Amino acid sequence: MTTGSSIDHSPAPLAITPEPVPEPEPQQPIPPAPTSRALELARLSPQRAAFELAWPGIVEQLFRASGGTVTLAIVGQLGAVATAAMGASFQYLFLLFPIWGAISTGTVAVVARRMGQGRPDQAADALRQSLIIATLLSLVSGAGFVVFAAPLLRLIGAGEDVVATGAPFLALVGGLNIFQTLGIIAVNAMRAAGDSRTPMWLSLGASVSFIGLGYAFVHPLGFGVLGSAYAQLIVTVAFLLPVAVLLWRGRAGLRLAGGSWKLHRETIRALMSVSLPSVGETLLFSVGILALGGIVFRFGTDAYAAHQIISSIEAMSFLPCVGFSAAAAALVGQSLGMGRPGRATSVGWAAARMAALWTSAAGLLMILLPAFFLGLFTSSPDVVRAGILAMIVVGLAQPAQAVIFTIGGALRGAGDTRYTLGLTVFNWFVVRFPLAVILGIVLGWGLTGVWVAVLIDYFVRAGLLARRFHSGKWQLRRV
């Protein structure tokens, strides 16, 4: 028997365990969106987008070339020696293409890709790095032109009368190439961001000024060939200033102000991965142009003067190609940045088709009216006679030239510059230069033989570029 307290047999209360509160899922970073201008272009059809960016570039190139061509015609009235002196100087100024072309190619590829990825700050960093590198290289190359102007002209076989006239021009324009170098890189970056109209209007003002100043310095003021150099430098500086101001404030989402101007290893690496092969390509091209000039000098001053005039007319004919090439490079880079390789392919082919139509029409005019075009740039009937057949050959080459420019631009916009470098080596050393020697010198075709070699080179190169673009391997290139 028990006594005292009783035992409680009721069940113990249940312990209530609070339900676990789920942890909030980590916020996923919002991927950057392409810039508004890149999206605007991406909404257009490939043909419309290519034309939207190309037509201001075509007009711009027409303005630029008109200024240079009219000035060449003004200088041409001074005689064959003046024309040959200016032309020989420009042969060496082509050596600046490794600076302009290579750095611009890397800048366009990186800027366009970053704008498509929605990273305008990184695009601006790439442009700043490019401008710093370009400044250093242009100062070094400028010093070389000042010191070696006369020996360089003698090296390609120019006579002492041509050297005496051309050396001061080459020293002045080449020595102060920094202004032109910076201007070219800056406007190419502007186009890569999607703004091709601003460079067009600036080039209009520059070209009109160049023609007026060129005539005034060459004839009324009596400076001759050197007067053209004075005009070019004044206009180049006047062009660079507004370009710098506009980019500092910002164009198409690309803005120079507010970022660092220190050199960054990663940005430099991205630029150089595209630019270094382009350096080799443009250097080979420039050296090849000089080598051809050396061959043509063997045929006499009249033939060389005709060669320079034909080169200038050809430059006018491929201006639409330059516009479509720049458009293809920008649109291909932006499309790859958005992760749309199919779109990149479509805009490349669209640009090539439109360029081919344009240049074919120009080529037909060259074939039908060769003497007329040559006569616009010289008062010498001997120079005209020396260039008639070569002018017809240039007209036949126009369709291939369109493919070279536009598809080559598309590949460079993708950063596929190693392939274009290898192709340049092959074409110059296996096709163009050996054929120029055989046809021009061995078979005795003279200036016409040299341009037939160029014609064959154009069609071989166009076919190989088209094959590469069709393969799609360029889409795998990382920038």
More confident residue, 264 or 111: 111
Nearest CA to 479 out of 107, 195, 32 is that of: 107
Tens of pLDDT, residues 226-242? 888 898 899 999 999 99
**Confidence (pTM):** 0.74
Mean pLDDT score across all residues of the chain: 84
Region of poorest pLDDT, from 20-24, 380-384, 473-477: 20-24
Tens of pLDDT, residues 103-119? 787 888 889 888 988 88
Separation CA 117–CA 120 (nearest Å): 8
Helix, strand or coil for residue 397? coil
Q: Which of 279-293, 388-402, 418-432 has the highest mean pLDDT?
A: 388-402
Separation CA 410–CA 232 (nearest Å): 31
Residues in the chain: 479
Could you tell me the pLDDT band of residue 14, with boundaries at 50, 70 and 90?
A: very low
8 pLDDT exceeds 60? Answer: no
Nearest CA to 333 out of 111, 125, 119, 118 is that of: 111
Tens of pLDDT, residues 316-357? 777 788 889 989 999 998 999 888 999 999 999 999 999 999
Region of poorest pLDDT, from 62-66, 235-239, 374-378: 62-66
| Residue 34 and residue 334 in contact, taking contact as beta carbons nearer than 8 Å | yes
Q: Count the Cβ atoms, other than its own, within 10 Å of residue 63.
A: 21
Cα within 13 Å of Cα(346), Cβ side: 13
Could you tell me the pLDDT band of residue 243, with boundaries at 50, 70 and 90?
A: very high
Question: In sequence order, what are the residues at sequence separation of 6 or more whose Cβ sits closer than 8 angstroms to the Cβ of residue 310?
Answer: 374, 387, 390, 391, 394, 451
Separation CA 479–CA 466 (nearest Å): 22
Cα–Cα–Cα angle for 367, 372, 374, rounded to 5 degrees:
90
CA distances from 128 to 9, 34, 246, 264 (A): 85, 21, 14, 10
298 pLDDT exceeds 90? Answer: no
**Average pLDDT estimate for 368-381:** 87
388 pLDDT exceeds 90? Answer: yes
**Average pLDDT estimate for 165-180:** 89
Separation CA 176–CA 183 (nearest Å): 13
pLDDT value, residue 447: 92
Q: Hey, what's the torsion of the CAs at 149, 151, 156, 162, to 10 degrees?
A: 70
First to last CA, the chain: 95
**Average pLDDT estimate for 138-144:** 89
| Residue 271 and residue 106 in contact, taking contact as beta carbons nearer than 8 Å | yes
Distant-in-sequence contacts of 210-219, Cβ < 8 A, 24+ apart: 210/67, 210/68, 210/71, 210/235, 211/66, 211/67, 211/70, 211/71, 214/67, 214/70, 214/71, 214/74, 215/71, 215/74, 218/71, 218/74, 218/75, 218/78, 219/74, 219/77
| Residue 126 and residue 270 in contact, taking contact as beta carbons nearer than 8 Å | yes
CA distances from 140 to 150, 179, 236, 262, 404 (A): 18, 13, 19, 20, 31
Q: Is 18 exposed, middle or buried (0-12, 13-18, 19+ CB in 10 A)?
A: exposed
Question: In sequence order, what are the residues at sequence separation of 6 or more whose Cβ sits closer than 8 angstroms to the Cβ of residue 11?
Answer: none
| Annotated domain spans of the chain | 45-470
Helix, strand or coil for residue 288? helix
Separation CA 191–CA 199 (nearest Å): 8
Tens of pLDDT, residues 29-51? 555 777 788 888 889 999 999 99
Residue 384 identity: V
